[in-house]
Structures are given as C-alpha cells and as structure tokens.
A and B are shown apart, each in its own frame.
Chain A
C-alpha cells in the first residue's frame, strides 16, 4: 500500500482504538480490579470511605493526625458519634437549609482524600482469607451431614430392616453395654428379615434409655451437595442429557423428511426466548400442571425435586442450540461417503458408529465446550425459577456470588469466589479442549 510508515501506525491506532478502549475499560480493568478485590475484605456499600470508625481510632488516628483545622471541622461534619458512644458513623444524609440531601460525589471524594492522608482506607488486604473462608463455609463445599431419623418423643419404631438397623444404628454405638441392651430389645426376626421391638412392656427406665439411644444414634449419613456440589451436579447432568438429546434430534432431523425444516425450527424455538421468560413458563407448569399429571404437588419447593426441575428447564431451553451445531456438523459429512457405505451394505448402526459419529468429533468438541462453560456459569434460568432455593438446594456458584455481592454486601468475598469460578472454568474446559483436539488429530 502507498502509505508511509508513520501513517500506517497512525491508522493502526485509529482503527483499533475504539474497540481497544471499550474492551479495556469494561473488561480488562474490571478483571484486574476483581483480582485485587478478591484479596480484600471490602464490603462494597460505601465505595471509598469507611462506614464507621471506632471512637479511639477516629479521635487518635484521624483528628490528632490532621494538621489543618479546616479539615478537622470538615470531617466532624460528616462523622458523628452514634448513640452507643463507641463509633463515629458516616452521615449519609446531610441536613442543609432545612432539607435532607444525600452526600454528593465531591464531598465523598474530599472525605476520601482527607482520610487517605492519615492512612485510613476501607479496603484492607487480608491475603488469602477469602479463599480460606470459602472452603471452611459449610454451605459451599460438599460434605456429609447427619440426618436424624428418630425423635425422642415419637413412639419407638416397631421394626427396622437389617440394613437400617446395622448401618444407621448399631454401627454408630461404641459402648458394648449399649449395644447389648439394644440387641436385647430389638430381636432379629428371620421371616421378615428385620429387627423387631420385643413385645413385652418396657419399664420406664428402660424405655427412657432406649429412646435416648435411638434419638442419638439412629441417623443416616447424607451427602449435602453444597454450592460447589450442586454446580457440578448441574453441569454433569446438563451436559450429558442435553448433548444426548440434541444428538438424537440432529440424527433424526438430518433424514430427508418433508417437514424437517419446520421441526428444526420448533426444537430451536425455546432457545431464542430469554431464560427469564422460559423460567416463568415452567414455573407455571410446575405449579399448576405437573401436580395434576404426576400427583406430586410440590416441585419447586422441594429441595430434592427442585434440582431436577431446574435441570429439565435448562435442557429444554438449551438442547435446540446444540442440535443446530450437530446438524451443521452432519451436513459437512460428504454424501458420497454415506452412499459408498450403503453400496457396501453397511447397516444403519454401522453407518452411525463407523462414519457419522467419528466425523462428528469436531462438533462434539464445540458442543461439549459450549455446554460445559454455560452450565458452570448458568444464572438466569435458576435465578428466575427458584432464586437458588429452597434453602440452598439450587444455589450454584454464580447465584452464590450474586447473593454474596448484592444481598450480603460482601464484594471482596464474592469476587474471590468469582476468581475461583474463572479458574474452575478455565481448567475444566481447557482439559476438555486439549483431550478432544487430540482425538480430532488422530482421525
């Protein structure tokens, strides 16, 4: 081209600048900020100035350090001793000329500057404490939890199956005396293959002792998924089922049917509707239609079923997209190949497993990558359908981050979780791409 070198640099910058500028402002800068925040205990409510300062801190560290009287006056205006007399609190509302108004930006900046000059800033670096807290959090990681099966005030269970008796009760008792006592009261009944409560009347003391023993020791170990566990559960099931369903649909709709285009459009339709609307369509289904069909009245309110409900909705919405990718992959298979196989007398199954599936490996790579990444960070559908509930049953990492950040005002902690999520996604999808790309080359 007939452009001088200097001009070339100039145009390079001019053409690139808009994209680069916006990208850096709204992606790179926040990402770096996020990494920084993940090491702090920042709460996010008051972006730059502390909400409250203890009395000693305010008087010793701030007021005494400040040189200019004007600055002291200025601060005293905004920080006032609260009713307990322990803390100076920031006054978010300022009375001026008889009306209340909110603190404005200029005042906030000046407070920040004055406080910074004496070394006070609300953002404290706490190192890896956020990450440590995450893994100590009971709700976050999968764990075993005891679920007690007998209440002290209920009538004693008359029979217990062998498995229940051994695993849930006997194995939990260490004391030999107690074991013997228990076995003397629950007799093994061979015809029922169960342990039965003896029929004779128990004395009050014996009854009491048996109740106490059962209420303390009759429990099942149950796996609580926690936030991480639910995220993985959701990801595994969603990736598996939506890919299987999408592949089946693609294989069938690749046949020469008259209505295949209409059918494809129908299966793809849920994908163009937003997940919020999809979630509400299904919340109506789960609340009014499903109870009629299945006889189970509570779907979204039950910790067990809500998980599967969320899964169903996500698969319903997402499989059309994957189907399109598989269809595009099937169309790249040269028809001569299939015809040659047919002439050679290959059966339908042979064609599928020997030709179509191996040639679909690139589509598998894309679909798995897409569904893995999207299930790990799925938000809209679950948030609109259950809001992460009941309890924490359907809270995945992203909803947890959202709750931490915007409902509990723990920005630092939430960003630390987001960084963790980022690492999880990079590791999982990176491994998947690496493994699948190797497969593709081999072919």
Chain B
C-alpha cells in the first residue's frame, strides 16, 4: 500500500489520465446499456406503435410507425372490455385487500412481539409456515370453501386475499416491531391510554416504513394476480381476467388487442412511474426480509 501511495504522489499525471480513461469507459458503458435497455423494451414499444394502426397495416408491416394517430382502437377496446367497470373492480379489490392486510397483520404482529411466551412464538411459526406452501396446493379446496361461504364475487375475494397474504406481512411487521423499544408504549400506558389507543395512535404511525413496503408488495401482487381471480371470480371481473378473455376472443384482431394491452397495462405503469423509488426500495426490502 505504501509503495502504491508513493507512486501516486510521484506521478500525479498518470492518475488523472487513468481517471479520464475510466470516465470515458463508463460513458461508453452507459451508451451500451442504454441501447440494451431500449432493445429490452422493444416489445413494449412495438405494441404501442401498433395500437394506432388498423389490422391490415399491422400484419403487412408491424415494424413501421403508424401513418396517423388513430384512437379508434382504444375506443373500441375500452367498450369491448368494459374497461371502467373492470378497472373499478380491480381497484376496489386491490385497495381494500391491501388495507385489510396492513391493519390485520400489523395488529397480529404487534401482539405477537409484545407477548413473550411459547404460545406467541408457536403462533408466529404457524403463520410463517404459509410461505413454503405453494398456492397451488390449496387452490382446489379453497375454491370449495369459497363456494360454500358464498364468496365467489368481487367482495368475497377480499377476505381471501387478506387470509392468504397476511403471513408475509406479519413476518415483515414482526421483524420491524422487534427493533422498536417498548418505552414509548409504556409511558403512554401510564398516561392512561388503552391498548387500542396505544396501538393505533402510538405504534401504528411508527410502522410507516413497513406499511409502505407491505402496501407496495401487496398492491403489485393483487393487481397483477391471475390464478386466484381465475378460479374464484366470474369471468371478466378484473383487468387480468378481462384481458385473458378478450385475447381469446380477438386472437386475430391485432389492432384491438394491442390497444387493449396498452389500456390494461397503463394503470400499473402509471403507478410505477409515480412511485418508482418507493417501489424499488420496497421490493428490495420485501425480498430481503422474505
């Protein structure tokens, strides 16, 4: 190390030269990466430009730019997929389930952490056990349970999502609450706050970073979920199901299909563009804890 240090002091010119060449290499790498990224997203770009063409234009020349920006495909797709209703259904399911998951599992995790005994530890393990069993193992009996409880509708799927996805959230809250000291809660208790007040007014706001992570993971998961709605919900109830049915019906009508693809992907892409930083952070945090 000392020899190297000596060298640096003796020939400062060499160092700045190599810095320059390094910067050049980085810039070159950046350009290469931009090209790769553009190629990576090329399919999405093709779908976008083709959504403005009519069917014969697409089949003749799928690579060319559209002659004009014709929105009739979008209008047709909007009508054919019954987009507003389907969108509202998906939004309703996603928002209510995520809220439910946050409330229910933060409560459970809180009491599991703050009660220190064997039973609470066993219950925690009981929840975590869920993460190693694939959904497919339970999907068939779940279908029957849902039928007998009369839950095969847009509102009925919400408690199912909460039940299925709360273990991961419990796990994440559990890990975080363990690091929160109990003093604040104790002083609140001395001031005469009930346990509900303590939880909802003191602890719940402290959990904000975990709320964000849990919310992001679950919103993306539920919004994009296909298999559970496929077996539980009537066809065409969510965006994914409507897309699936629509594509089956209009397999040869590329123009309509392209427009409906853009239409159904746009809400989640918009969400992503708005919340990019939080999403990437949340996903990384969720993955490392999961």
Q: Does B89 belong to the interface (CB within 8 Å)?
A: no
Which of chain A's residues 237-292 have a Cβ closer than 8 Å to chain B? 252-253, 255-260, 263-270, 272-277, 280-285, 288-289, 292
Stretch with Cβ within 8 A of B (4 or more), from A24-32, A135-143, A172-180: A24-32
B140 contacts A422, C-beta separation under 8 Å: no
Known: A27-B130, A366-B288, A377-B134. A33 touches B1 (CB 8 A): no
Residues of the A chain whose Cβ atoms lie less than 8 Å from the Cβ of B226: 274-276, 379-380, 383-384
7 A-B residue pairs with Cβ-Cβ distance under 8 Å, sorted by A, are A256-B26, A259-B33, A259-B34, A265-B280, A289-B43, A384-B244, A401-B136
Cross-interface CB contact of B108 among A15, A264, A321, A414, cutoff 8 Å: A15
B140 contacts A411, C-beta separation under 8 Å: yes
A353 to chain B, nearest CB (A): 19
Stretch with Cβ within 8 A of B (4 or more), from A61-69, A163-171, A181-189, A324-332: A324-332
B247 contacts A26, C-beta separation under 8 Å: no
A15 and B276 alpha carbons, distance in the complex (Å): 33
B287 contacts A292, C-beta separation under 8 Å: no
Cross-interface CB contact of A267 among B37, B44, B135, B239, cutoff 8 Å: B37
A429 and B132 alpha carbons, distance in the complex (Å): 9
In the complex, how many residues of chain B place their beta carbon closer than 8 angstroms to a beta carbon of chain A?
94
Closest residue on chain B to residue A412 by CB atoms: B140
Q: Does A349 belong to the interface (CB within 8 Å)?
A: no
Cross-interface CB contact of A16 among B112, B139, B288, cutoff 8 Å: B112
Q: Does B279 belong to the interface (CB within 8 Å)?
A: yes
Q: Does B46 belong to the interface (CB within 8 Å)?
A: yes
Known: A27-B138, A273-B265. A344 touches B4 (CB 8 A): yes
Q: Does A44 belong to the interface (CB within 8 Å)?
A: yes
B189 to chain A, nearest CB (A): 5
A19 contacts B170, C-beta separation under 8 Å: yes
Closest residue on chain B to residue A33 by CB atoms: B141
A384 and B244 alpha carbons, distance in the complex (Å): 7
B33 contacts A16, C-beta separation under 8 Å: no
Cross-interface CB contact of B46 among A20, A25, A284, A321, cutoff 8 Å: A284
Residues of the A chain whose Cβ atoms lie less than 8 Å from the Cβ of B180: none
Contact mask for chain B residues 124-142; partner A; CB cutoff 8 A; 1 contact, 0 none: 0001001011111111111
Q: What 10 new A-B contacts, CB under 8 Å, besides A284-B254, A324-B287?
A: A1-B185, A16-B107, A16-B108, A19-B107, A26-B145, A274-B224, A292-B62, A328-B284, A384-B244, A411-B140
Closest residue on chain A to residue B134 by CB atoms: A377
A373 contacts B134, C-beta separation under 8 Å: yes
Q: Does B243 belong to the interface (CB within 8 Å)?
A: yes
Listed from nearest, the 6 A-B pairs whose CB atoms lie closest are A26-B163, A22-B163, A274-B224, A33-B141, A15-B111, A30-B141
Known: A23-B166, A263-B33. A418 touches B140 (CB 8 A): yes
B46 contacts A289, C-beta separation under 8 Å: yes
B137 contacts A419, C-beta separation under 8 Å: yes
A113 to chain B, nearest CB (A): 15
Stretch with Cβ within 8 A of A (4 or more), from B71-79, B80-88, B207-215, B256-264: B256-264
Which of chain B's residues 120-166 have a Cβ closer than 8 Å to chain A? 120, 123, 127, 130, 132-142, 144-145, 147-149, 159-160, 162-164, 166
Q: SS class of chain B's interface: helix, strand, loop or mixed?
A: helix
B63 contacts A280, C-beta separation under 8 Å: no
A208 and B40 alpha carbons, distance in the complex (Å): 57
Q: Does B14 belong to the interface (CB within 8 Å)?
A: no
Contact mask for chain A residues 399-421; partner B; CB cutoff 8 A; 1 contact, 0 none: 00110011000010011001101
A405 contacts B244, C-beta separation under 8 Å: no
Residues of the A chain whose Cβ atoms lie less than 8 Å from the Cβ of B272: 265, 269, 272
Which of chain A's residues 321-349 have a Cβ closer than 8 Å to chain B? 321, 324-325, 327-328, 343-345
B145 contacts A280, C-beta separation under 8 Å: no
Q: Does A3 belong to the interface (CB within 8 Å)?
A: yes
Q: Which B positions have Cβ atoms within 8 angstroms of A?
A: 1, 4-5, 26, 29-30, 33-34, 37, 40-41, 43-44, 46-47, 50, 58-59, 62-63, 103-105, 107-108, 110-112, 115, 120, 123, 127, 130, 132-142, 144-145, 147-149, 159-160, 162-164, 166-167, 170, 185-186, 189-190, 195, 199, 220, 223-227, 231, 239-240, 243-244, 247, 254, 257-258, 261, 264-265, 268-269, 271-272, 276, 279-280, 283-285, 287-288, 290
A419 and B139 alpha carbons, distance in the complex (Å): 11
Which of chain A's residues 356-409 have a Cβ closer than 8 Å to chain B? 366, 370, 373, 376-377, 379-380, 383-384, 397-398, 401-402, 405-406
Q: Does A11 belong to the interface (CB within 8 Å)?
A: yes
**Of A269, A270, A376, most B-chain CB atoms within 10 Å:** A269
Closest residue on chain A to residue B252 by CB atoms: A287
Cross-interface CB contact of A281 among B47, B104, B107, B133, cutoff 8 Å: B47
Residues of the A chain whose Cβ atoms lie less than 8 Å from the Cβ of B264: 277
In the complex, how many residues of chain A place their beta carbon closer than 8 angstroms to a beta carbon of chain B?
91
A355 to chain B, nearest CB (A): 16
Residues of the B chain whose Cβ atoms lie less than 8 Å from the Cβ of A345: 4
Residues of the B chain whose Cβ atoms lie less than 8 Å from the Cβ of A325: 284, 287-288
A11 and B276 alpha carbons, distance in the complex (Å): 39
A398 and B139 alpha carbons, distance in the complex (Å): 11
Residues of the B chain whose Cβ atoms lie less than 8 Å from the Cβ of A401: 136, 139-140
A418 contacts B139, C-beta separation under 8 Å: yes
B133 contacts A343, C-beta separation under 8 Å: no
Q: Does A12 belong to the interface (CB within 8 Å)?
A: yes
Residues of the B chain whose Cβ atoms lie less than 8 Å from the Cβ of A384: 226, 244, 247
A30 and B149 alpha carbons, distance in the complex (Å): 13
Q: Does A8 belong to the interface (CB within 8 Å)?
A: yes
B33 contacts A1, C-beta separation under 8 Å: no
Residues of the B chain whose Cβ atoms lie less than 8 Å from the Cβ of A3: 189, 195
**Of A277, A285, A418, A419, most B-chain CB atoms within 10 Å:** A277
